Structure 1
Amino acid sequence: MSLVQRGARLRRSPFHEATQRYWPRGFTVYNHMLFPTNYADFEEEYWHLLEHVTLWDVSVERNVEVKGPDGARFAQLLTSRDLSRCAVGQAKYVLIIAPDGGILNDPVMLRLGEDHFWFALADSDVLLYAKGLAAYAGMDVELAEPDVSPLQLQGPRSKEVMRDLFGPGILDLRYYHFVETELDGIPLVVTRTGWTSEIGYEIYLRDGRRGTELWDRIMEAGRPYLIRPTGPSDIRRIEGGILNWGADFTAEHNPYEVGLERLVDLDMPGHFVGREALRRIAAEGVRRRLVGVEIEGERLDFNATEWAVLADGEPVGEVTSAIWSPRLRKNIGYAWVPVERSATGNRLIVETGAGAREATVVAMPFVDPQKRIPIS
């Protein structure tokens, strides 16, 4: 279960050869691409993220590019968030909505022009869905997966590394905004975004032939600040209330169940797929919700499968992600429960990998609920 079968079917990122020098301990597959999971102990990488700066290959966030005369109309068709409020040079966290109101993906979207967009995807085949939608939309639009591969530079010293790479002007870049630039002639897009709830940036490589060159340049600039490569920090993303599509929610869930109704603009002037379904769901209400939970007892390992949630001795839901937070000294996570069990303070039983444990519904995020850290 610990090996990933190699083959040409599994793509490698432009940074793959560079990452091998640091001996990644494991890989998973995400969007048909090999994805390094970690280079050291997960908790060690977590503390390094909190105290220093980390570099993470997130090329697996494959992009769908939308452009053409009807690019803006088609991009709006994909998502429930009002894109008329998104300026060129701005990024937005958005939802790709199915006709029944389910969430097909939750990408970060970049608006590069009035009719030019990138959607940096979680792990699902949105390009195929978009092509099918375009075939019947009657719009003049081009859809493709561009030669774009992001890295994440995250942690409290990431600003110093960025300043040394790009000059002090890069520090004026606002949260969820981006700039098109270059480094030593390497074409890039730099955004003030990330998947860590820490201060950070994403650096989108626009020429896949220069991955090793860019990686080495960043590692060199980060050496005075103790930079090191890591994989995704599930500890930090759960602390920060960041959800993982495919694990915490899927196409079977809608924004109102997940707690992402702020990303739904039912009264916007533009049209999007699933609008009437979401309007009906909003009027009728939902029967289940995704909630934060604290699970009592000794440290738990990160769950590899869903854990059953019980109330009054009966199964009522499941834990999707659960992990030990070293700084909170608690087991924290997310669980699907019926609406009547979703209020803060409700008591539950979770069938963990270490046996039954008592749990309590709590507010999310668990750390920095006002998002002051990443915005700073």
Structure 2
Amino acid sequence: MTNEPAMSADPFQGERPRHTHFHERQAALNVREAWSAWNGFRFADYYYDPEYEYFCIRNFCGTYDICPMQKYYISGPDAAAMLDRMVTRDIKKLNVNRVTYCVWCTDEGRIVDDGTIFRISEDTYMLTCGSPSVSWLRKSAIGFDDVTITDMTDEIAGLSLQGPTSYSTLKAMGLEGLETLKPFGIMRFPFNGVELMVSRTGFTGDLGYELWIDPSQALAMWDALYAAGKDFGIHPYGETATDMARLEAGFIMPDMELSESLKTIHFEHDQSPFELNLGWLVDFKKPHFNGRRALLEERERGPKWTLVKLDIPGNKVAEGAIMYDTEDCDNEIGYVTSAMWSPSVKANIALAMIKTPALKGDIWAEIYYQKELRYYRKMALCEVKDKPFWMPARTRQTPPEVYS
């Protein structure tokens, strides 16, 4: 006999990613076993093939698990005032059953995170964001006597349904009246004795919805949704296809375009709203908010960097490319954050951070690409685009087109 503790059969017990509320159904469909982790949850990179999944959401509809997304209720008479102090947008303008995109900053005007705020009742808001933010929310609530912060991440199952046949699928599921729901709106429906909240939101730049339900009915909702969508090409899609779709829409992605300011080490390796072309999210007409003074100064002098959309000649993806102001690499002016060959746009596209003064001249990308195990180099003269690469009319069309 010894006093040594028994060895666990699993040396990593307690450290493995948790399963989301939809994992049982997703695991059966993930034939490649292509998993990663997001906020401590097991999360699909892809199920079968990323490009196949991408085409599913561009031509039919697909589901994307958003259970790992952080979800917080901010409630009480002071909820609106507290959020208005924290974020750069005027939250008091947000009506009940509406959603808005927002960012929040440090006092230096650097972005802590971005996310969406749902006004689900007169005094209750739901904030969704990519990274855990409960500590920042609690700090932001200091000085507000009547506000409650509740972490609802495990209490709400979230599933995104995106693509042109998403409305037809939900209509076939029996969600009557959904045709009147406008972008960034919220509707509620009864489902198996609980409430199913549907928002017309998403991260693909296409027609789409997000479904929010009590975890006890998550699998039942999945089954009902897939039964309704069987004639509309419904498939699951993972993070890789999401990244392709959001880049076409010109949306920023954390750890690519956005470095959260509380996580960076090097000075100014984070970003401000103006640097990410999100100045439209900053409302200087409202009273004081975090970072207001610094952002006002930045607006007057102009941002050091500006995120731009680029159309690049040829088909060599500019991933990781360094940008110059001349073809002979005379002066480095920026870097690519995301790049891809767009199947829908049929173009070589990228997002890049460029030194703002350099936007007045030419922008060249130094691209390295591989061909039969050899690396080659080319210089490409880029064209700055003002509009999203992909944003079809159906994204905002109300009522949406019905497929049969």
Alpha-carbon distance between aligned partners in 1 of 2:86 and 2:248, rounded to the nearest angstrom:
29
- Asked if structure 1 preserves the Cα contact closer than 8 Å seen for 2:75 and 2:149, the reply is yes
CA RMSD of aligned residues (A): 2.2
- Name the SS for the 1:151 alignment partner: strand
Matched, 1:179 2:187: yes
Relative to the length of structure 2, the TM-score reads: 0.84
Match of 2:244 among 229, 235, 242: 235
- Structure showing greater radius of gyration is 2
Matched, 1:30 2:53: no
- Aligned match of 1:275: 292
Write out per-residue CA displacement over residues 127-146 of structure 1, whole angstroms, 9 at most, x where no aligned residue.
Answer: 22112332x33432111211
- Aligned match of 1:127: 134
- Aligned match of 2:314: 297
Write out per-residue CA displacement over residues 278-316 of structure 1, whole angstroms, 9 at most, x where no aligned residue.
Answer: 111111211210111233333439x4xx43323342332
Alpha-carbon distance between aligned partners in 1 of 2:78 and 2:169, rounded to the nearest angstrom:
39
Matched, 1:218 2:200: no
- Aligned match of 1:141: 147
Query: Shift of residue 218 of structure 1?
Result: 0.9
Query: Shift of residue 100 of structure 1?
Result: 1.1
Matched, 1:360 2:382: yes
Write out per-residue CA displacement over residues 202-225 of structure 1, whole angstroms, 9 at most, x where no aligned residue.
Answer: 0012x2233222211211111111
Structure 1 alignment gaps of length 5 or more: none
Alpha-carbon distance between aligned partners in 2 of 1:280 and 1:64, rounded to the nearest angstrom:
32
- Where does 1:1-376 land on structure 2 (aligned, <5 Å)? 8=15, 10-23=17-30, 25=32, 26-122=34-130, 124-134=131-141, 136-146=142-152, 147-205=155-213, 207-232=214-239, 233-250=242-259, 251=261, 252-268=270-286, 270-300=287-317, 303=319, 306-312=320-326, 313=329, 314-343=331-360, 346-354=362-370, 355-357=376-378, 358-368=380-390, 372-376=393-397
Alpha-carbon distance between aligned partners in 2 of 1:73 and 1:90, rounded to the nearest angstrom:
17
Alpha-carbon distance between aligned partners in 2 of 1:247 and 1:76, rounded to the nearest angstrom:
27
Query: Shift of residue 271 of structure 1?
Result: 3.2
Write out per-residue CA displacement over residues 336-366 of structure 1, whole angstroms, 9 at most, x where no aligned residue.
Answer: 11112225x7331234454434140421444
Query: Shift of residue 230 of structure 1?
Result: 0.9
Aligned partner of 1:288: which letter?
Answer: W
Alpha-carbon distance between aligned partners in 1 of 2:322 and 2:183, rounded to the nearest angstrom:
38
Alpha-carbon distance between aligned partners in 2 of 1:37 and 1:137, rounded to the nearest angstrom:
42
Q: 1:244 to 1:75 in 2, by over 3 A?
A: same
Aligned partner of 1:131: which letter?
Answer: R
Query: Shift of residue 317 of structure 1?
Result: 1.8
Task: Give the total of aligned pairs.
Answer: 363
Aligned sequence identity (%): 26
- Asked if structure 2 preserves the Cα contact closer than 8 Å seen for 1:342 and 1:361, the reply is no
Write out per-residue CA displacement over residues 185-215 of structure 1, whole angstroms, 9 at most, x where no aligned residue.
Answer: 243210011111111110012x223322221
Alpha-carbon distance between aligned partners in 2 of 1:274 and 1:176, rounded to the nearest angstrom:
26
Structure 2 alignment gaps of length 5 or more: 1-11, 262-269, 371-375, 398-404
- Name the SS for the 1:107 alignment partner: strand
Aligned partner of 1:154: which letter?
Answer: Q
Alpha-carbon distance between aligned partners in 2 of 1:82 and 1:218, rounded to the nearest angstrom:
35
- Asked if structure 1 preserves the Cα contact closer than 8 Å seen for 2:119 and 2:125, the reply is yes
